[in-house]
Structure 1
Amino acid sequence: MKLRLFPQEPAGLILLSQMAQQIVHASATMAEILGVPATEHAKLVDDMHNHDARSGELHFALLTHMRSSFVNPLPREDMYALSRYLNEALEKLDSAAELVFLYQLDRLPRRAADQLEIISRQAELTVDAMRRLDNLDDLEDYWIEILRLAKRAERTHRVWVADMIRDMKWAQYSRNRDVANQLVEVTKDMRRVATQVGSIIVKES
């Protein structure tokens, strides 16, 4: 049976999709940061701050839209939760980039790139999912895939931390651990988005 909510006001879903797209852009910027010397980080971190600012603008635009729109495609509390989790994910990605800059980390372990690949994939899937929230067909697959990716990210984080404890001195470990923690928290926020979608599917089924 086709699941469908109220499609009269799709602007909110477009804003949510644009927020997810900012995470895709921010992931690409973070990948650039990981690939260049510390002397080139400053401009890229400024770019990351711009992604964060844009996400904040979209978040507040969605809040304004929900207040002014008579009919929304989802309950307001669900749209707010999705927007908040997406914005918090971007904030943590921005924090990771700033820590790399402040700590002058020239090279991060390969596990950082692995985590970034997961974040990028989660964000790409979420861009499409946010557009389709007024028609819940097949979104269960999105929910399940994001959860799978989040579990993979947690395993990667555990191995990364274990590697750092074994291979690094305390000061180096502490700096790299801060970045690792921020990246895994991004994946957890993306998981929260998917879990919220799952709750919407259950409520509307």
Structure 2
Amino acid sequence: MGFRLTPQDTSFFSLFATSAGLLVDATRELTRFLEVEPSGRSAIAQRLRDLEHAADDSTHEVLKKVNSSFITPFDREDIHALAASLDDCMDLIEETADLIVLYHIGDLPTGLTQQFEILARMAEVTAEAMPRLRSLKDLSSYWIEINRLENQADELHRAMVAELFNNATDAVYVIKLKGIIDGFEDAADAFEKVAHVVEGIAVKES
């Protein structure tokens, strides 16, 4: 890492940890969609909206700090990219979960259970990695695991879409459910984007 003339503002790391922790909370709420009747899903969607608002606040705080800090832990562009990619994960989870309510989906396909499990694991691994940004050590296992999980998510997505097209007969239902399946796959892609940003920072600052 390059020589720094003045102390860094370490509060960035706490904010990134907060954002990642909110993603863990969000993926736990996702699993509750599988545990309640359709009538109970609106309350879960509201909790996800609350988490999304909290994540927005954390992101805005990061951006405010970037603009007001003379010295940052790493390049400002990388801080912006990491904050934005964490926020994208939350946005996609919240927006896609809301579609389950808005589209009045009844029984959820079994593949969603696996999608939620993958997203939950991605959130946990991401949250575990954020404190290691301080030292930028022992991070390679993080992006390797995220890449493995994203490949798993890709395979599951293809299988779910194929099953939907092969077996569903209601065209409107197909359109609705594919939007949901695609949205959660986009969330998995967003977690991989976070890992790519972290890997780029680690390479640049090493």
TM-score between the two structures when normalised by the length of structure 1: 0.93
1:106 Cα offset (Å): 2.1
Q: How do 1:5-154 residues align onto structure 2 when only pairs under 5 Å count?
A: 8-154=8-154
Structure-2 residue corresponding to 1:160: 160
Contact 2:132 2:138 in 1 (8 A): no
Task: Tell me the matched-pair count.
Answer: 203
Distance across 2 between alignment mates of 1:116 and 1:5: 42
Name the residue aligned to 1:203. 204
| TM-score normalized by the length of structure 2 | 0.93
Please provide the CA RMSD for this pair. 1.6
Query: Gaps spanning 5+ residues in structure 1: where?
Result: none
Unmatched 5+ stretches in structure 2: none
* C-alpha deviation, 1:201, in angstroms: 1.9
**What residue identity is the alignment partner of 2:85?**
Y
In structure 2, the residue matched to 1:184 is 185
What CA distance in whole angstroms lies between the structure 2 residues aligned with 1:9 and 1:146? 28
Identity, % of aligned positions: 29
Cα drift, residue 58 of structure 1:
0.5
The C-alpha deviation readout for 1:12-67, integer Å capped at 9, x for no partner, is 11111111111111111111123212111111111111011111010001111112
* Aligned 8 A contact 1:147 1:191 in 2: yes
CA shift for structure 1 position 70: 2.3
| Matching residue's letter, 1:108 | L
Native 8 Å contact 1:115 1:153 kept in 2: yes
3-state DSSP class of the match of 2:73?
A: coil
